[in-house]
């Protein structure tokens, strides 16, 4: 491991930096875009085949190939590519029959799109606390169940799995539709099984910050043929996917009004190359995280994020908690002075779309029209739904004490050792 000169004086007070190498932006797959992506994209352009269903010449669809390979890699019967993860979440809710009058439980710590998709499906978001894994607190989830609860969106937040064994049992016992939001955990697993394959539908993101990327894009996977049909029906209202798009219904409920969430061939081409790089990215991030954690696990007064399955964690970040919220800002400031790209997670004065307390438009039930749907929906027979900034106190407490460090796969062993040394240095001085 990298050896540092013995000097415990903090950089913020004039001492030498613990990390002297440049920080790397957290675009795991984006940083690896190269000749493989170019070849795939140029093949699409050379054949002028920009739309998956037809073009000036007959040519195999990149999007169709991506779906086939993605399904096989994740062990699912069906995969359907879309233009964003938000689109996959909305489509998954619609495919599952979620709509007016229904309540859907979602993490209070997730990107806002997870909650916004519920409103787009005309259902009511019910915000749930997290625990020290920074994923769903299942005790709180069970307390929030009502006769109107129809579904759960389980977000594998910051690359780590929810407690899928218990969650699946809860959903089966209460006949709840289960959607896995795998946007930040592509390639992660729980007890050896890929995330996205436990629920009724798994939803993935290919946005630029994510594990593998085409800039934008998403994927749904499912083992249910009828759900797959409904996903296709909603994401492509023109019914291009049907053998005869103008034919009568082959079964009741096959055709209904939908939208256009299709993925284009250029995005599909990029994703084919990116998919081949997923395993290598995961391996490197996991190695980096283990290397850092092994050097700081013995630090007192730091509580590492608890993991339901350490082997299934993607390794995209390191998260730990300090004993007091007031210590986070000076701790993070000192880490940054040491050259480490660290950050706090929750600060009431700094808006962040990943924390429910900042979802002002949702907390205020603001809608695009004056009627106020879905909260005013006459089909909703449950209690009056109200929100407040402090409705999930454990979420705010845990995130308020958390320190977050990205772990790009492009980091070297020296980078990891310097980060570990910097954390030890700051902890010794401030804790």
pLDDT of residue 348: 87
Measure the CA–CA gap between 376 and 357, rounded to whole angstroms.
Answer: 22
Catalytic residues: 210
Nearest to 307, CA basis, from 319, 298, 297: 319
- Please give the average per-residue pLDDT across 217-238, as a whole number: 96
C-beta of residue 122 within 8 angstroms of C-beta of residue 377:
yes
Which residues, other chains included, contact 188 with Cβ-Cβ below 8 Å and sequence gap of 6+? 156, 159, 160, 161, 182, 194, 195, 312, 313, 314
pLDDT of residue 7: 74
C-beta of residue 82 within 8 angstroms of C-beta of residue 52:
no
Place of tokens 């209690």: 383
pLDDT at 160 over 90: yes
pLDDT at 5 over 50: no
Domains of the chain in start order, with CATH, are: 35-277 (3.40.640.10)
Measure the CA–CA gap between 218 and 213, rounded to whole angstroms.
Answer: 9
- pLDDT tens column, 289-320: 999 999 999 999 999 999 999 999 999 999 99
C-beta of residue 320 within 8 angstroms of C-beta of residue 403:
yes
- pLDDT tens column, 96-115: 999 999 999 999 999 999 99
Average pLDDT over all residues of the chain = 96
pLDDT at 1 over 60: no
- Strand 149-155, strand 124-128: pairing: unpaired
pLDDT at 284 over 80: yes
pLDDT of residue 12: 97
Task: Report residue 25 as tokens.
Answer: 């932006």
What is the distance in angstroms between the CA of the first residue and the CA of the last residue of the chain? 24
pLDDT at 4 over 70: no
- pLDDT tens column, 326-373: 999 999 999 999 999 999 999 988 889 999 999 999 999 999 999 999
Task: Report residue 16 as tokens.
Answer: 């030498």
Q: How far is CA 387 from CA 105, 126, 236, 292, 383, in A?
A: 13, 9, 34, 39, 13
In this prediction the pTM is 0.96
Task: Report residue 287 as tokens.
Answer: 């190695």
Nearest to 212, CA basis, from 287, 132, 275, 151: 275
């Amino acid at each position: 491991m990298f050896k540092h000169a013995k000097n415990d004086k903090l950089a913020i007070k004039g001492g030498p930096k613990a990390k002297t190498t440049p920080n790397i932006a957290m675009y795991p797959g984006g940083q690896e875009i190269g000749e493989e992506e170019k070849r795939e994209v140029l093949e699409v352009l050379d054949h002028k085949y920009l739309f998956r269903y037809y073009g000036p010449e007959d040519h195999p669809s990149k999007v169709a190939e991506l779906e086939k390979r993605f399904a096989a890699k994740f062990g699912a019967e069906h995969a359907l590519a879309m233009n964003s993860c938000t689109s996959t979440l909305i489509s998954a809710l619609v495919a599952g029959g979620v709509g007016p009058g229904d309540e859907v439980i979602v993490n209070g710590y997730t990107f806002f799109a997870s909650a916004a998709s519920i409103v787009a499906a005309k259902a009511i978001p019910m915000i749930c606390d997290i625990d020290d894994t920074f994923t769903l607190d299942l005790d709180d989830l069970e307390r929030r169940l009502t006769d109107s609860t129809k579904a759960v969106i389980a977000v594998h937040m910051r690359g780590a799995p929810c407690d899928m064994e218990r969650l699946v049992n809860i959903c089966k016992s209460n006949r709840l539709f289960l959607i896995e939001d795998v946007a930040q955990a592509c390639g992660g697993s729980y007890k050896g099984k890929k995330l996205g394959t436990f629920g009724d539908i798994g939803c993935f993101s290919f946005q630029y910050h994510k594990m593998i990327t085409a800039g934008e894009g998403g994927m749904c996977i499912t083992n249910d043929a009828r759900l797959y049909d409904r996903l296709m029906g909603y994401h492509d209202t023109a019914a291009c996917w049907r053998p005869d798009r103008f034919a009568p219904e082959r079964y009741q409920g096959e055709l209904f009004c939908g939208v256009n969430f299709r993925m284009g061939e250029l995005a599909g081409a990029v994703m084919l190359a990116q998919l081949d790089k997923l395993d290598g990215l995961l391996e490197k991030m996991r190695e980096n995280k283990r290397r850092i954690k092994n050097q700081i696990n013995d630090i007192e007064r730091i509580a590492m994020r608890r993991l339901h399955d350490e082997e299934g964690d993607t390794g995209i970040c390191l998260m730990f908690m300090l004993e007091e919220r007031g210590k986070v800002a000076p701790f993070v400031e000192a880490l940054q002075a040491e050259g480490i790209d660290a950050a706090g997670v929750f600060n009431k004065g700094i808006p962040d779309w990943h924390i429910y307390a900042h979802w002002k438009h949702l907390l205020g039930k603001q809608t695009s029209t004056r009627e106020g749907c879905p909260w005013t929906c006459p089909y909703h027979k449950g209690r009056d739904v109200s929100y407040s900034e402090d409705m999930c106190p454990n979420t705010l407490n845990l995130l308020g004490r958390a320190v977050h460090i990205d772990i790009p796969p492009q980091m070297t062993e020296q980078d990891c050792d310097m980060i570990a040394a910097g954390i030890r240095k700051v902890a010794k001085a401030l804790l």
